[in-house]
Amino acid sequence: MTALNNNKNSRVTDSNKVSFIFDGKKYFGFDGDTIASALLRNNIKIIGRSFKYHRPRGIYTCGIEEPNALVQILSEKDEPNTRATVKKIYSGIKILSQNRWPSLKNDFGYINNLLSPIFSAGFYYKTFMGPKGFWKNIYEPLIRRSAGLGKPPKEFRSKSIHHHHNVDIVIVGAGLNGLLAASKFIDTDYDVLILEQDNILGGSLNSSQKIKTIDNLDTHVWTKKTEDLLKKSKNIKILKNTLATSYNQINHIIALEDNSVGKPLASHKPELILHKIRTKHTILSNGHIERLISFRNNDLPGIMLAGSFEKYIFRYGVIPEAEPIIFTNNSSTFSLLKSLVDLGCKPKAYIDVRDESSIEKKTKTILKTNKIPFYFSSEIEGCDGNKKLETISIRNKEKQIEKISGTMLCISGGINPDVHLFTQSKGLIKWDEKYLTFKPETAFQNTITIGSANGSFNFKRIIEEINEKLSLFNINELKIDLEIDCPEDLNIMELWETNNEKKSFWSKSFIDIQNDVTTKDLHQAVSEGFDRIEHLKRFTTNSMGTDQGKISSINSLGIVSKILKKNISEVGTTIYRPPYAPLSFSAIAGRSTYEFYDPTRKTSIHSWHVKNRAIFEDVGQWKRPWYFKKNDKETMYEAVQRESKELRNAAGILDGSTLGKIEIKGKDALEFVNLIYTNAFTKMKPMTARYALMLGEDGMIKDDGIVCKINDQHFIVTTTTGGAAKVLSDMEEYAQTEWPHLNVYLNSITEQFSTFNISGPKSRAIMRKVFSDVDFSNDKFPFMSFKKVNYLDTEVRILRASFTGELGYEVYVTPKYGLELWEKFFRYGENLGLIPYGTETMHLLRAEKGYIVVGQDTDGTVTPLDLNLNWMIGKNKKDFIGKRSLSRSDTSRKGRKQLVGILAVDKSKIIEEGQHVVKSSSIPSKIKFPVKYLGHITSSYHSPTLNHYIAMAMVEGGNDLIGKKLYVTQNKSSENISVEIVKPVFLDPENKRLLS
């Protein structure tokens, strides 16, 4: 049988034809069609293959809950797992079915169906345990190719943006209940936001004829009229195509708006808008979801939920089949039956599990007058057919199997209020014995549930319910007349699965159609001990995937409760977690993509670095020159060796602008600095500087830097590049929380200065040329002192300090003149051998000198004592952060790891950073006991000046091991390198170069 168009009373009419491509073939649908309704119009029943067994699958529902009909949109950058039941077509859309190879009709993976015994519950966890290597080389590639959903796209599909809202009331779902609630707020002082997932308002008014008229108006006319009134009201805003996906703490709702419904992707505007809404009250009128019934082969193409079938007729104007068979356990199918008959169609059979007396009279009358075969006290045992529904086996009231032929079967296993958002908001749900479903019980936030979302399935009561539940807002009472044409009650009888008689691999009774979980898997999981519902979910993969088991998760609870002989309320549900429906990562990312993801910070010299072939290193958000390539051929190793050598021979200049700089001012600045840093600053002369350490209260090194004292009320300190923000935060914390009596002001001045480090034996000569009126002699400008120097119309601060071990100066200048001054250095310095150098050379040079890098040689477990930096501790100070911890039993014990130097006995051997320091010369192939670890290599370089490798390490009791031999492990070798432990200063231990 073929599909018919319903032009009489549907929301999609045949006015505008739209062409689309499905699996390479061209078809026509109508403007407003979803992919699914358009395919049904074209009598296409198979739309994909299933996840595990590759069984042919058709369209099962008509909305967001769809388990089967997932497609890939080729015309939208291969967007995968798109629900065909939601996505609207447009002219030129290209659609591909998923998870089939080589084609939808002949699918190779169908063999999995035959292998199904090994794909049963828990197969991921236990089937492929051995032999060794099989998983990686055979099973995994095979499973990856044949199981799964669509292919991931190669690029971002969408541009998306975020909108923020602060409102009084959010109404989720603009169906009958949502519209009625909203209309109460017209022209009130409440700020109201209405979220509707469809592109038209009306919800179930569009998808059934259960309500005939509202205030004597046709429902379509009433919806339009109400929409107009809402739009005119200045306090109300309606967002269509917007799905509420998360309901978080403090009435925070996330909703996704599809801004390109029924249109191809436009390059100039956002396709997705993520709405972040903070509201005072939330009204959930988001309706209900129908559920299935499990029977043998209940996944065959041609089987659909009854409510969805009805929705296709009225919402999309397509009757998928004129003579469907209906199978139900409740009264909701009355309206489908009635609608079909009204449209001149005649269901082929009506199968109801309830006994004749409990079926409402209305239904029986229609069945009798239209001579529709009627099976009460009956159920479907199973279905058969070659890739589509052909035969239906009915177990009649005499428990005999009767077979009838049919190509379309509409089933209803009951109705669930859509409680996902309600439970996300931490509301309490409760099992309802009358309706056999979970209903909202107690709200945790300011949440009001109305209509079928509240489990109120009786239309007669809805006006009363809305007036009652919204009475807290003190707004007008609704007085509306509804003409209802459906049974008053659901009158449901429990039926989760039917017994099936045919036993073969092909016969499966599915509970989770998307994940190919069968009712047998549930039985098996329970028998293997996975009887807690959360365990069972993970073991079987039941209610996972893109649909999260929306049409079947309650059924699985029903089945499990029967196996366990418990009540469903004792079994409980799994936790409903956001998002309600899949949320594209690009929607979450919004504008935070590519260069907007994380800002890039560049120094004022950046353009010069680029021009001079700098290779950059990311340090925090900063771009720092790592090394400068002399020419395209030069490798990093060669560049670093060259830079190091030339600096020690002549001079080098480093862009140190990224170093954190903090200004500390105030009457009590000196006392504050004394408390923050380990060193003693009281006797320090103005205009001098000190290398200083900052500890945590646990005594461990947190940061280091140089403290410059302008006077007792004014200090400037530097921090590591990565530590700048944290150090300022910590200082602020102590200033506010522990020492509020101290008068100090803190200010980050990192960006106020460009900083250059000029270093090397020729640096004094160069400085003299650049700043000709400054006396750079050792007497007048000693190590660790600084001067303020006029430069153009500004002031430059020059500090004599060094991180390379050579004579060196740091120059602080306003970024306005940064590049100009940098270039000036090269104008005057180039013929003296001045070269630019990067962070890698800086690291190498400081290692030759045994200077540490916080975060490389230290790791948060290292005290100053561990580094032999006792001289930096102001022992006579009464207190500083971390001081007391330095005398704790653990920090003062012997045998802590201490900083040492490491030299290979064979100096041509490379010692790798991170390798272990051990006692034995090799690692035995069979290890009986753990190899004793003494420490690890923290820094390692080839020194071009010494012409051999040097390394630093943290080694247990290192100070007592100087001169001893130990071993260092190697990558991919059981032979260890023989090394000598030395003092961690490899060059100029007398500081001759530094003080020259």
H or E stretch including 847?
A: helix 839-849
- Nearest approach, Cβ of 238 to other proteins (angstroms)? 25
CA 727 to chain centre: 30
What is the closest distance, in whole angstroms, from the C-beta atom of residue 892 to other proteins in the complex? 10
Q: Who contacts 108 (Cβ-Cβ below 8 Å, separation ≥6)? A: 54, 101, 102, 146
Helices and strands in the chain, H and E counts: 25, 52
CA distance 65 to 346: 28
Q: Residue 82 and residue 96: Cα distance in Å, rounded? A: 10
Distance CA 417, CA 204 (A): 13
Residue 257 makes CB contacts below 8 A (sequence gap 6+) with 239, 241, 242, 243, 272, 273, 274, 275
If the CB atoms of residues 439 and 993 are measured against other proteins, the closer one turns out to be: 439
- Nearest to residue 497, comparing CAs of 407, 583, 558? 558
Q: Please state the closest distance from residue 185 (CB atom) to other proteins, in A.
A: 23
199 contact partners, CB below 8 Å, separation of at least 6: 88, 240, 241, 261, 262
Task: Kindly state the smallest distance separating residue 430's Cβ from other proteins, in Å.
Answer: 7
Q: Which is nearer to other proteins, 233 or 569 (CB)?
A: 569
Distance in Å, CB of 432 to other proteins, minimum? 11
Helix (H) or strand (E) holding 363: helix 361-369
Nearer residue to other proteins within complex by CB, 532 or 629: 532
Burial tier of 737 (Cβ tally within 10 Å: 0-12, 13-18, 19+): exposed
**Alpha-carbon span 461 to 960, nearest angstrom:** 87
- Residue 102: both structure tokens together: 């080589």
Q: Which is nearer to other proteins, 201 or 735 (CB)?
A: 735
Outline where DSSP puts E strands in 240-344: 242-248, 252-258, 272-284, 288-290, 303-305, 318-319, 325-328
| Contact (Cβ atoms closer than 8 angstroms) between residue 287 and residue 173 | yes
Quote the least distance from Cβ 730 to other proteins, whole Å: 11
Whose Cβ is closer to other proteins: residue 206's or residue 555's?
A: 555
Cis peptide before 487 (omega within 30 of 0): no
CA-wise closest residue to 939 among 854, 840, 857: 857
Are 654 and 756 in contact by the 8 Å Cβ rule? The answer is yes
Q: How far is the CB of 846 from other proteins (least distance, A)?
A: 31
Is the CB of 232 or the CB of 566 nearer to other proteins? Answer: 566
- Give least dist CB 575 to other proteins, A: 5
Closer Cβ to other proteins, 355 or 879, answer by number: 879
Nearer to other proteins, 535 or 714 (CB): 535
Is 718:816 a contact under the CB 8 Å cutoff? no
User: CA 974 from chain center: how many Å?
Assistant: 41
The nearer residue to other proteins, 241 or 678, going by C-beta atoms, is: 678
Q: How far is the CB of 573 from other proteins (least distance, A)?
A: 6
Q: Which is nearer to other proteins, 355 or 534 (CB)?
A: 534
CB of 673 to other proteins, least distance (A): 17
Q: How would you label 542-570 residue by residue, b for 16+ Cβ within 10 Å and e otherwise?
A: bbbbbbbbbbbbbbbbbbbbbeeeeebee
Return the sign of the alpha-carbon dihedral for residues 310, 312, 314, 315. positive
Q: How far apart are the first and last CA of the chain?
A: 99
Hunting for tokens 């006692």 — which residue is that? 919
Nearer of residues 570 and 912 to other proteins, judged by Cβ: 570
User: CB of 763 within 8 A of CB of 806?
Assistant: yes
Which residues, 6+ apart, have CB-to-CB distance to 942 below 8 Å? 637, 641, 910, 948, 949, 950
Shortest distance, position 569 Cβ to other proteins, whole Å: 6
Find the shortest distance in angstroms from Cβ 64 to other proteins.
23
Give the nearest distance from C-beta 445 to other proteins in angstroms: 9
Task: Identify which of residues 540 and 573 has a Cβ nearer to other proteins in the complex.
Answer: 573
What is the C-alpha to C-alpha distance for residues 340 and 338, in angstroms, rounded to an integer? Answer: 6
CB of 749 to other proteins, least distance (A): 16
The first and second tokens of residue 140, run together, are 């995994």
Which is nearer to other proteins, 423 or 603 (by Cβ)?
Answer: 423
Q: How far is CA 602 from the centre of its chain?
A: 29
Minimum distance from CB of 763 to other proteins (Å)? 39
Nearest residue (CB) to other proteins, 477 versus 738: 738
**Residue 427 — φ and ψ, nearest 5°?**
-70, 155
Place of tokens 């809950």: 65
Nearer to other proteins, 226 or 678 (CB): 678
The residue (of 747 and 973) whose beta carbon lies closer to other proteins is 747
Which residue, 87, 35, 51, 65, is CA-closest to 305?
A: 65
Is 952 strand, coil or helix?
strand
β-sheet bridge partners, residue 237: 193
CB 477 within 8 A of CB 352: no
Q: Looking at beta carbons only, is 263 or 888 nearer to other proteins?
A: 888
State in angstroms the smallest separation of the CB of 383 from other proteins: 33
Query: Considering the complex, what minimum distance in angstroms separates the CB of residue 490 from other proteins?
Result: 20
- CB of 576: closest distance to other proteins in angstroms? 9
Question: Applying CB under 8 A, which residues contact other proteins?
Answer: 248-250, 252, 278, 423, 426-431, 438, 444, 533-534, 569-570, 572-575, 697-698, 729, 732-733, 736-738, 740, 878-879, 883-885, 888-889
Distance between CA atoms of 356 and 748, rounded to whole angstroms?
A: 82
Which of 496, 791 has the CB closer to other proteins? Answer: 496
Going 657 to 659 to 660 to 665, the CA torsion angle's sign is negative
